[in-house]
Structure 1
Amino acid sequence: MSNVNEYKDIVAFHPGYYIADVIEDMEISQAEFATRMGTTAKTLSQLINGQANISNDLAKKLSVMLGTSLDVWQNLQNTYDQKLIEIQLAKDIDAQAELVKEIDYKYFIDVVGLPTTRSIKDKVANLCKFFRVADLRIMLKEDFLVNFRTSSSCNKMKHIINSRAWIQTAMNLSKSIETKPYNAAKLKGYLPELRGMTLKEPEEFLPRMNEIFAECGIAFVLLPHLKNSGVNGAVKWVTEDRVVLAMNNRGLNADKFWFSLFHEIKHVLQQKIKMVFISTTVEEMMDINNNLEIEADKFATNYLISPADYKRFAPSKYTSDDEIVEFANTIGIHPGIVAGRLQHEGIIAQNRCSKLKEKYVIEIKHTA
């Protein structure tokens, strides 16, 4: 081990570096210096080679022997320790640089108000502070926030860190939302009203939706899509009495928005407190709890359009737009949801019903 550590323009001199100079100036051997100092040759050798730090006892002996203040040697040790920390921080930042490049930093400027900067060092510091982690690489650990199937591919790593960044953002923003204790019965009682909101515009239904969820113990967070995250929604329990339901709010057709919402509501009702559910477009990151996902899909499908109503409708590829609208009106739901169901099941072509499928664009600005 050397008594001088260097990284880029940072240099750390161990106190042993200066002791070696003193011995040379005194023109004596290390063994004699150790004797005069009242310590062993081994201890002095470790000190000179940067393998041991100056203890209070050694600092006292050096100060008496050389006629210096005690602070001289203690300050040399403290300065060295601080420089080592600087070196390690610089190395850590360089190691995180590639991860920062995979994260759309501008997203966090726009959505949560992080400071604008071009400095990689500042970006690392700002993101670590916002995500509440000591190192961005921690967000790649298997047990951070949500587990995914393991893979070493670069694309997988990119998706994992961004999906967890999106979820952590939702968790941070949820802290400002006041909720009552979770009440499953109350949530089930509000489901018909939530379904009826499909006929309203976002600016009308969102305030009421937030009230309902807060009343039921759910902190509801809408966020724009984060590039490379592939996350459309997530459910994470904070305590047994409080759960966060987060959804992607940008570029969603009405049918996808409402299907996703009721899908996540089912995950809340499943009340798997130790699990984190995410809805993702990235196949290799699909949730490993497949049965619960199937259950949530089935719930969303059947609650929006009941099996009995769907059977009565009996749609086919010849079903017209007018018939879709008429059916939607009879069951009190947005016609785009019906059209989306038919497209999803391959009954009608994807390029049909463009006029029926309303697209929600909800602009939301949060503060960190």
Structure 2
Amino acid sequence: MEKQNRYFPQSRPHPGETLSEKLEEMSMGPKEFALRTGKPEKTIIAILKGESAITPEMAVQFESVTQIPAHFWINHQRSYDEYQARIKHKAIIDEAVPWAKKFPIADMIKKGWLPTVVTIQEKSDELLEFFGFSKHTAWESYYFNQQLKVAFRISLASTKEPYAISAWLRKGELQASELKANAYSEIKFKEILHKIKDILVTHPDDFFLKLQSLCLEAGVKLVNTPTLPKAPISGCTRWLNDTPLIQISGRFKRNDSFWFTFYHEAGHILLHGKKDIFLEDIEYSEFDMQKEIEANNFASEFLLSQEQEDEILSNFTITEDMIIGYAKKFHTHPGIIIGRLHHKGLVHPSVGRQLIVKLE
């Protein structure tokens, strides 16, 4: 069946109508047919009225009396049942339309997350398929009511754009499902975080693929998910079963922001438990905010320690050449140093701006 027929299925008669025509042709009433097939008369009447189904067992019994092969009755019933299911599904899709309109569908189609379809009903159906739900109410139970806390432990109900955020998160899950990672090893992950600094320093064109490959060796899945207009998220960390997932957007399209986000999310994996999910724009408790501070400190120290920063700031003036020299000394990237100093307001924004690498 072509996909468009999922929304407007062609009519399928109940097999009881065909049976009624056959009995009329055979000049046989329901009572005699019931006697010949060994079925209760009320069952035959219910089938003729379209109130009951023809089972495979009945189909074999009907074959002997009607001389119509059993597979005809079985296929007829299956076709009718599917038609009825499609009708019910269409009603579900119609009910989901107001829900679907809250998503940035046009942007999702533009990014290739959803196929190009025309009607809002088709878009609603594709959106449900994207999330892996049969009804939009299941989405609400999952993302708002936390009925499956093992998989999704925070409610998006209090966020500004829960629909766009949920789409971004779901896309990350789909990307992660395509990756194969080793069993997670905390020891291995700590080791590769130091190796990754070599990628950070040299910044090759394929830096993300190299970074992703090292993470997979340690059992960590890393995906790059472009932001949606209404979900300006830098990153997210969560566990999918026993595998940690780091989802990064590259929101600011600059290397200092990218690497800070990566090490921030890595900090969550090493410092905090599997039961947590860390995401921007969520109202965290004071306890969870402390975890965010801890992850920030982890990233800051890994990229440029406080001691190293103090050494740089001990100079009366800070020049680009000086930043490049310190980057070599501390085995980091000049863009990360100048980005830190800009962020803290310690140097003028015009100083060393070209040291920051722009990301596509």
Specify whether residues 30 and 152 from structure 1 end up closer, same or farther in structure 2 by C-alpha distance, changes over 3 A only. farther
- Report deviation, 1:262: 0.8
- TM (norm. structure 2) is 0.69
Q: Is the 8 A contact 1:10 1:86 kept in 2?
A: no
Specify whether residues 83 and 308 from structure 1 end up closer, same or farther in structure 2 by C-alpha distance, changes over 3 A only. same
Specify whether residues 13 and 165 from structure 1 end up closer, same or farther in structure 2 by C-alpha distance, changes over 3 A only. same
- 1:146-185 to 2 correspondences below 5 Å: 146-151=152-157, 155-160=161-166, 162-175=167-180, 179-185=181-187
Match of 1:209 in 2: 211
Measured in 2, the distance between the counterparts of 1:152 and 1:46 equals 51
CA-based RMSD of the aligned residues comes to: 4.7
The question of 1:107 aligning with 2:111 is answered yes
- Report deviation, 1:257: 1.0
- Report deviation, 1:63: 5.0
SS at match of 2:152: coil
Is the deviation greater in 35-44 or in 51-60?
Answer: 35-44
Match of 1:47 in 2: 47
Match of 1:260 in 2: 261
Match of 1:366 in 2: none
Match of 1:358 in 2: 356
Q: Is the 8 A contact 2:238 2:245 kept in 1?
A: yes
Question: What amino acid sits opposite 1:170 in the alignment?
Answer: Q
SS at match of 2:54: coil
The question of 1:224 aligning with 2:226 is answered yes
Question: What amino acid sits opposite 2:174 in the alignment?
Answer: T
Match of 2:305 in 1: 306
Q: Which structure dedicates a bigger proportion of its chain to strand? A: 1
Question: What amino acid sits opposite 2:186 in the alignment?
Answer: A
Measured in 2, the distance between the counterparts of 1:75 and 1:211 equals 50
SS at match of 1:10: coil
Higher relative contact order (CA 8 A, sep 6+): 1
Q: Which deviations, in whole Å up to 9, do the C-alpha atoms of 1:272-305 show, x marking residues without a partner?
A: 3x4463443x345999944433321221123323
- Report deviation, 1:30: 6.8
The question of 1:13 aligning with 2:19 is answered no
Specify whether residues 266 and 355 from structure 1 end up closer, same or farther in structure 2 by C-alpha distance, changes over 3 A only. same
SS at match of 2:155: coil
Match of 1:365 in 2: none
Specify whether residues 153 and 313 from structure 1 end up closer, same or farther in structure 2 by C-alpha distance, changes over 3 A only. closer
Q: Is the 8 A contact 2:9 2:87 kept in 1?
A: no
Measured in 2, the distance between the counterparts of 1:288 and 1:99 equals 34
- Equivalent position to 1:322, from 303, 318, 322: 318
Question: What amino acid sits opposite 1:256 in the alignment?
Answer: S
Measured in 2, the distance between the counterparts of 1:287 and 1:82 equals 52
Specify whether residues 84 and 15 from structure 1 end up closer, same or farther in structure 2 by C-alpha distance, changes over 3 A only. same
Question: What amino acid sits opposite 1:221 in the alignment?
Answer: V
Q: Is the 8 A contact 1:235 1:245 kept in 2?
A: yes
Measured in 1, the distance between the counterparts of 2:291 and 2:160 equals 28
Specify whether residues 198 and 28 from structure 1 end up closer, same or farther in structure 2 by C-alpha distance, changes over 3 A only. closer
Q: Is the 8 A contact 1:255 1:337 kept in 2?
A: yes
Measured in 2, the distance between the counterparts of 1:187 and 1:107 equals 31
Measured in 2, the distance between the counterparts of 1:31 and 1:184 equals 74
Which blocks of at least 5 consecutive residues in structure 1 are unaligned? Answer: 1-6, 363-368
SS at match of 1:174: coil
- Report deviation, 1:209: 3.4
- TM (norm. structure 1) is 0.68
Q: How many residues align?
A: 340
Q: Is the 8 A contact 1:166 1:231 kept in 2?
A: no
Of all paired residues, the percent bearing the same amino acid is 22
- Report deviation, 1:358: 1.9
Specify whether residues 136 and 307 from structure 1 end up closer, same or farther in structure 2 by C-alpha distance, changes over 3 A only. farther
Measured in 2, the distance between the counterparts of 1:344 and 1:295 equals 18
Match of 1:3 in 2: none
